[in-house]
Amino acid sequence: MKMAETQLGLAPLLLYLVVVVLSGSALVVESGIGVNWGTISSHRLSPSTVVDLLKDNKIHKVKLFDADPGSLRALMGSGIEVMVGIPNELLALLSSSTAAADLWVSQNVSRYMVKGGTNIKYIAVGNEPFLASYSGQFQSYVIPALTNIQQSLVKANLAAIVKLVVPCNADAYESSLPSQGTFRPELTQIITQLVSFLNSNGSPFMVNIYPFLSLYGNSDFPQEYAFFEGTTHAVTDGPNVYYNAFDGNFDTLVAALGKLGYGQMPIVVGEVGWPTDGALGANLTAARAFNQGLVNHVLGNKGTPLRPGVPPMDIYLFSLLDEGAKSILPGNFERHWGIFSFDGQAKYSLNLGLGNGLLKNAKDVQYLPSRWCVADPSRDLSGVSNHFRLACTVADCTTLNYGGSCNGIGAKGNISYAFNSYYQIQKQKSLSCDFDGLGMVTFLNPSVGECRFLVGITDNHSSGIGLHSWSFIVWWLVFWIFWMLLM
């Protein structure tokens, strides 16, 4: 885990208030609660349905991982504060070409910021580009890309409204105790440049904090320290005592920033949450306990030992919806972070503290007919392995793995689950339940206990691999061609 710095007094608090006023926010030291809206799903709700879900739950801040036109159009007129994202793969182009930066801003920001348009407040330049596992692949592009995008915003007269941020993974800093927090040695120079840029442009530092990953990756990590209900494994750091991993991690960043001379910089938590499936410890009970504890803790405005009374500017829960087509390289839990399932139905009771009570489900979701594909009990299933592998390559079978909600349903249950997952992605086409005669359609729900056999949705935007609208794909092609011409 990471940790960090010295007590903040009245002066930093006043500075923080000034920053808040200058940023156009209300003069209150309170956190805003937002959500990450990812779209890497095999069952994608229409953007308009998602925006209605946000409004019904009074969620006024949303973070996107790209600039999907369908999402941005649906957000027009909603008043919801939006952060758009620039994927890491675009950083090289945007760092080398001011024309490319101008084009990106024109097509993905300016065109939506009209009267009654989309309320874009932030652009996330890259997504965890300093992640250690990237081995510096994107590192050299970050500052030049920031500079070019900033100049493009100035040209578009948007620099006073739209702020740039760079979401950083918590592995950018390290320490055994919060007050000793420092950035990784190889990042010191570039992070110094980054925070200088952010500070001069009135932008916060953005970090992603995941106590779940600390617990998942370390068998010796005390489980209760990941939550907010007290622990017998508190961390004592001089006069300060840490009772949860979130505060310890946050203050490690505060200390690391302080060592660079920016200990008072406002901090936004870009991603934080707890998954509900796909691994031991990833379940509905734990997710509810963590997220409700986090919301209560942050909105209590107590801050942390190094920033008493000054919580993060904003936190963005990860995530709004499950994303069943995400890479599972980090773990099978990666597809199960949503506070809502893929169809916009709340997974558990959660009060976001936004004056709306418990979560409200998405309305008017159109489902496919109530039928499922299962293994035919009358057939010999000894030759099913290739069919099972195919189904789980296309569809999401992560709940079948150890620690998953469907792990205990037996071999035939596993086959049926895989068959049905594939069948639903294929919009229940009759041939998609054939599997050389080993599958059959049933009208009896085969769900068992917490193991849910899903029924797909019929939204026009929900396609087999529909991760983005066609217009977004077209713009990717435009940028690719632009890049080739520059080479």
Give the catalytic positions in this structure.
128, 271
Chain mean position to CA 32: 16
Q: Are 358 and 351 in contact (CB under 8 A)?
A: yes
DSSP class of residue 111 equals G
d(CA 438, CA 379) in angstroms, rounded, equals 6
SS3 213: helix
Buried/exposed code over 405-425 (b: 16+ C-beta within 10 A; e: otherwise): bbbebeeebbbbbbbbbbbbb
Cα separation values, 276 from 10, 119, 127, 334, Å: 40, 31, 23, 10
d(CA 413, CA 425) in angstroms, rounded, equals 18
Q: What is the DSSP string of 138-206?
A: TGGGHHHHHHHHHHHHHHTT-TTT-EEE--EEGGGEE-SSGGG-EE-GGGHHHHHHHHHHHHHTTPPEE
What the block records as the tokens of 441 is 């359609």
What the block records as the tokens of 294 is 């986090």
Q: Which helix (H) or strand (E) holds 282?
A: none
The dihedral sign for the CA sequence 108, 109, 110, 113: positive
DSSP class of residue 38 equals -
Give the residue ranges of DSSP H helices in 171-321. 188-200, 211-217, 245-259, 284-299
Q: Which residues contact 426 (CB under 8 A, 6 or more apart)?
A: 432, 464
d(CA 375, CA 415) in angstroms, rounded, equals 6
What the block records as the tokens of 352 is 């976001």
d(CA 87, CA 92) in angstroms, rounded, equals 10
Closest CA to 93 of 84, 103, 85: 103
